Chain A
Amino acid sequence: MSQSPSPTRRKVAAQAPMRRLRPTTAREPSYSIVGSLLFHGLILATALITFHRSFDTPEESHVVPVDLVTIADTTNVAAQAPPTPEPEKMDMPQPPALEVPPEPHMQEVEPAPEPPVLDFKIAKEKPLPVEKPQPTKKETAQDFNALLNKLTAPEKPVKTAKAGPRVIQGIGAGNLMTADIADALKSQIYRCWSPPTGAPDARDLIVDYDLSLNPDGSVGRLQMTPGTAAHAAGNGYTRAAAEAASRAIYQCQPYRLPPDRYALWREINPLRFDPRQMMGQ
């Protein structure tokens, strides 16, 4: 035991070279070193501030609608937009009157058959105790949503276009002047759109709407295009898809779009909902 160096001694031996260096540094103090320290400190502080800002930037870029509204020269009208308009202002089917409710499509079904009587003798069997299922991987709605959200990547952040001189007030769809508005509208609708995805033929789920927006971004008039209306009349999948799109449009209103360019977005036709990408088709 006495032959092997103790742990303490080994530690001291390992530190020895460091201790030899210390006096050298201590003996030669210099203004250049102090200056160097100050200089590096400044660089470090600058870097920290700069990096801090650069880390913030991507997060801000996710706030899509806010970015977009800053395009406009005027104030953020959307933030002061009036609440959702009263139902009667909507050009939608009037709800049935209270006194005379509409006769719903009543369908009288045959009385359901009695539960089958089994001839097989099982009378002595004890009633089956129902076993509760094992708690599975947290099947909460949140988990389900999280999974779905993962599967459906959100729309790309909208490019923040710089406000430029607006020479042309109105022009046809799908050009540089309207691309940012289309993106802004999409980025606001997608959050509310949960299309049915079970149809065997995904093309049955593509629906077109003609949407008129009020200047405050609320829905003024909404109707299916004639093609979609005809398709939905004969196809339950298309009807379900059209109703899901309609729910999305109403749910996400009012839309925050640059008010000074209202002429560009007062009417959207066709506003197309196409879930094929979501279905991987």
Chain B
Amino acid sequence: MKKFLVLFAALAALWTAPAYAALQVDVTQGNAQPLPIAIPDFLGDPQVGANVAGVVRADLERSGLFRPLDPRGFAEHATNINAVPNFGSWRAITAQGLVTGQVTLQPDGRLRVDFRLWDVFGQSQILGLQFFTTPENWRRIAHMVSDAIYERITGEKGYFDTRIVFISESGPAIKRVKRLAIMDEDGANPIFLTRGDYMVLTPRFNPTAQMIAYMSYIGGKPRVYLFDIETGKQERLGDFPNMTFSPRFSPDGNQVALTLETGGNSDIYVMDLRSRAMHRLTTDPGIDTAPSFSSDGKQIVFESDRGGGQQIYLMNVDGSGQRRISFGAGANGTPVWSPRGDLIAFTRRQGVQFSIGVMRSDGSGERIITNGGRDEGPTWAPNGRVLMFGREAPGGRGSSIWSVDVTGRNERRVLTPGSASDPAWSPLIQ
């Protein structure tokens, strides 16, 4: 009996002994906030260093995913980019990321820009890059630095080293002058590409961002033209007696899809830019227009009124397999395939309301992401995360360009010289 009691006591002791099994926890809700990041002025030339850091801060802030901290609150003022920062002092001002950099004028006259990105909590350098350029190109380098930081923190490609081509509008509403213009993504360096003698519409970049296809009314009839940004040369695309409009490059840049009107019927064609051969894709008696290639170049999304109202359709690049994919309320048009391939942006018209929406490439998951009243003509950032579009102010008080995150957050006006519409976002500059 005594033995039994001892055994029982031993078992009981075992039973109450700590087991130390690991706890499992699933965190499924967070608190989406822009990342606090400290970007002191770059060392070296004080003016250039301040300029570069200023552009980087502005780029990251504009994305809505970062919150650059006010440099006046910085406790540490580094004098050497190669020194390890005092992470405690950066933690104290709530910084989670830190960028240190310097600009140096090389003996050969080139500007050298180095920077390091530090993880303040992890107390380690997570990125370090060096760039060389001509001194007047400092702005582009600043955008490249922003792109590198954005990509390292979010896992997505950046979009700051890009350009926007758009239609600049001036003059009274009854005699509006529309000129083709181009500027950096942040609104800097705006340049007119055409004089304004003829109306121009719907500019589109080719994949190298060196060529623009657009529609112009030269000679009184709308036709598609190509504009070479480097040489300034422009040429008419094909010699057709009738209207051509709504051009869009294929992802490899070798083809242009466009609409050709013949005998009152508008259909979609693809032109091979090397042979200039045209291949007809649609034959429906309705108006088929606004073609846009998928990112893999195998499909084309377009708008058509063949079913009565204006809706979005999909087809293979040879014209086969045409089917409707938009079934939401109102009329839907100007579809644009995301460079990432997962979404299609479009313009929704419902009564007098125009808004921008996105849907998956099979038409599912439709979401309207703007409600500015008259928003139209979406264009994608090269990373497929942000959209720009044109917004017309009520009462014909001019138009402007806006950007919005694909989630519908972070809607902002884009700086343009005067009124502007019909933006097209370039790929990342090569």
Contacts and interface: CB of A to CB of B under 8 A. Distances in A.
A158 interface: no
B133 A112 contact: yes
Contacts of B28: 274-278
A131 B131 CA distance: 32
Given A153-B29, A172-B21, A197-B32, A93 B122 contact: yes
B25 A152 contact: no
A38 B33 CA distance: 56
Given A144-B34, A153-B29, A240-B155, A251 B121 contact: yes
Interface stretch (B186-194, B279-287, B296-304, B314-322): B186-194
B16 interface: yes
Nearest to A273: B27
Given A112-B133, A247-B121, A263-B18, A136 B24 contact: no
Interface stretch (A13-21, A26-34, A69-77, A97-105): A97-105
A119 B128 contact: no
A66 interface: no
A139 B23 CA distance: 42
Contact of A144 (B31, B131, B410): B410
Interface in A222-281: 235-241, 243, 245-248, 250-251, 263-278
Given A125-B192, A181-B23, A186-B27, A120 B130 contact: no
B232 A120 contact: yes
A178 to B, nearest CB: 6
Interface string B343-369: 000000000000000000000000000
A152 B121 CA distance: 24
A199 B155 contact: yes
B31 A193 contact: yes
Given A268-B24, A278-B32, A139 B412 contact: yes
A144 B64 contact: yes
Interface in B380-421: 385, 400, 407, 409-418
Interface in B133-149: 133-134, 136-137, 140-141, 144
Contacts of B119: 243, 247
A135 to B, nearest CB: 9
Interface residues of A, number: 104
A92 B120 CA distance: 12
A104 B210 CA distance: 33
Interface in B9-33: 15-33
Contacts of A106: 128-130
A144 B229 contact: no
Contact of B340 (A151, A154, A200, A270): A200
A239 to B, nearest CB: 6
Interface stretch (A3-11, A39-47, A163-171): A163-171
A198 interface: yes
B230 interface: yes
Interface in A95-118: 95-98, 101-102, 104-109, 111-112, 114-118
A133 B415 contact: yes
Contact of B155 (A131, A136, A196, A264): A196
Given A122-B191, A190-B29, A194-B31, A268 B23 contact: yes
B424 to A, nearest CB: 16
A129 B420 CA distance: 13
A118 B193 contact: yes
A109 B113 CA distance: 11
B125 A96 contact: yes
Candidate in B187, B232, B233, B411 with the most chain A CB atoms within 10 angstroms? B232
Contacts of B275: none
Interface string B89-108: 00100001000000000000
Q: Which 3 A-B pairs have the closest CB atoms?
A: A104-B128, A119-B232, A128-B417
23 contacts: A84-B91, A92-B122, A93-B122, A96-B125, A104-B129, A111-B134, A116-B210, A119-B233, A134-B413, A144-B64, A152-B31, A170-B21, A171-B19, A172-B21, A185-B25, A186-B29, A194-B31, A196-B156, A199-B156, A239-B155, A240-B153, A240-B155, A243-B122
